[in-house]
Amino acid sequence: MNMPNETAASMDFSGLTSRLPDVGTTIFTVMSALATEKGAVNLGQGFPDFHCDPALVDAVADAMRSGLNQYPPMTGIPGLREVVADKVEAIYGHRYDPATEITVTAGATQGILTSVLCCVHPGDEVIVIEPAYDSYVPAIQLAGGVPVFVQMEVTAAGYAVPWQKVAAAVSPRTRLIMINSPHNPTGSVLRIADINALADIVRGTGILVLSDEVYEHMVYDGARHESVCRHPELAARSFVVSSFGKTYHVTGWKIGYVAAPAALMSEFRKVHQFNVFTVNTPVQYGLAAFMKNPAPYLELPAFYQRKRDLFREGLAATRFKLLPSDGTYFQCVEYSDVSSLPEADFAKWLTTEIGVAAIPVSAFYHEPRESGIVRFCFAKQDETLKLALERLSKL
């Protein structure tokens, strides 16, 4: 019997939709493409334009050459999980069991997605504090959860979480609260009062916390990073996500980790083994060897604070109004003295006419919310920052 010879061109896929039908091209892709087209300095997307430590590359290459190129354990190689546990204990005073409470992930985004998928069921509510990194809501939607939004407040002192509004957003269906500190895109950080306020909200409930701490080693002016790991009550109910890519200037390697109590991690690993299974073997061995020296991450705050200060000093000579940058490698500015354009249009104008790419903060809300603020990334070579400042001085 001859079957019809169907081709993709002859088939009708018009009724097919993904689990994320409303997702389009990200603003990061749009602005980076525009920056390339216009020859602009790209201070939009958050990645360094300088090299990582050659010793880290050598450590990964040594692992490759020694034959460490096959599947590692699903949870990550023991040596890397152990050095992470040691680091967390040394800095934050909380000991995770590397065997049962730490898993190496294919970047922080996969760690966030897997954390959500393992605990959020259809109909569960997840509180998202906006502006928020753009992977949070899609992760919730893929799990069938319902995002509940609370907006940060913007004052002369910068962005702050209105914890009374977070508390008011809690319902019997709340399963998870997602927090991010140091915060992308605002550059704000949570203080001990914030952590205590969060603890007050979840105490006596079954609500879990997902704490995105990928910029944990970028907190400035002598302040300390208030990880939920420091707070035993919160550590007992939290997934903590971090990123080797951010810490060691290798964002393209896409490797991070999640730490959580054993009961949570057990559920996390059930999803992890089927959504990525495991992570690049030689990179894990290279990181395990490199991390035995804590200096690179201990020196990171001073490294980036110098760049922040250089960039802020240059911006002070423009008509931008600088918001605080207490952490991350992002600087937000308010531009009402420069233009009345909406944020997305202003970012495109800045890229096209001035030659510097930025990201509109409105892109970090589920519905565009205009506040006249754009975000720059200062994780760049000094020469790159100086060129950007030279162009911005025209404003």
pLDDT digits (tens, 9 = 90+) for 170-184: 999 999 999 999 999
pLDDT higher than threshold 80 for residue 361: yes
Distance CA 122, CA 136 (A): 16
pLDDT at 156: 76
pLDDT at 212: 98
Distance CA 109, CA 133 (A): 10
With a pLDDT cut of 70, the percent of the chain lying above it is 97
pLDDT higher than threshold 70 for residue 257: yes
With a pLDDT cut of 90, the percent of the chain lying above it is 90
**Residue bearing the bigger pLDDT, 9 or 215:** 215
Q: Across residues 140-159, what is the average pLDDT?
A: 94
pLDDT at 266: 98
| Claim: this prediction has a pTM higher than 0.75 | yes
- Relative to beta strand 146-151, strand 125-130 is parallel
Closest CA to 197 of 134, 243, 129, 259: 129
Q: Across residues 80-91, what is the average pLDDT?
A: 98
Token code pair at residue 88:
């967390």
In the CATH scheme, what is the code of domain 68-293? 3.40.640.10
pLDDT at 139: 98
pLDDT at 5: 61
**Residue bearing the bigger pLDDT, 205 or 21:** 205
Give the domain 23-46+298-392 fold. Aspartate Aminotransferase, domain 1 (3.90.1150)
pLDDT at 22: 85
Phi, psi of 351 (to 5 degrees): -70, -45
Peptide bond into 232 cis (omega under 30): no
Closest CA to 319 of 307, 331, 336: 336
pLDDT at 334: 97
pLDDT at 3: 54
Domain ranges of the chain: 23-46+298-392, 68-293
Q: What is the pLDDT of residues 5-28, one digit of tens each?
A: 666 666 888 788 899 988 877 888
The answer to whether the beta carbons of residues 182 and 189 sit under 8 Å apart is: yes
pLDDT at 23: 84
Q: Across residues 206-210, what is the average pLDDT?
A: 98
Q: Across residues 163-168, what is the average pLDDT?
A: 98
pLDDT higher than threshold 60 for residue 230: yes
Q: Across residues 218-246, what is the average pLDDT?
A: 98
> Average model confidence (pLDDT) for the chain?
95
pLDDT at 4: 56
pLDDT higher than threshold 80 for residue 79: yes
pLDDT higher than threshold 80 for residue 1: no
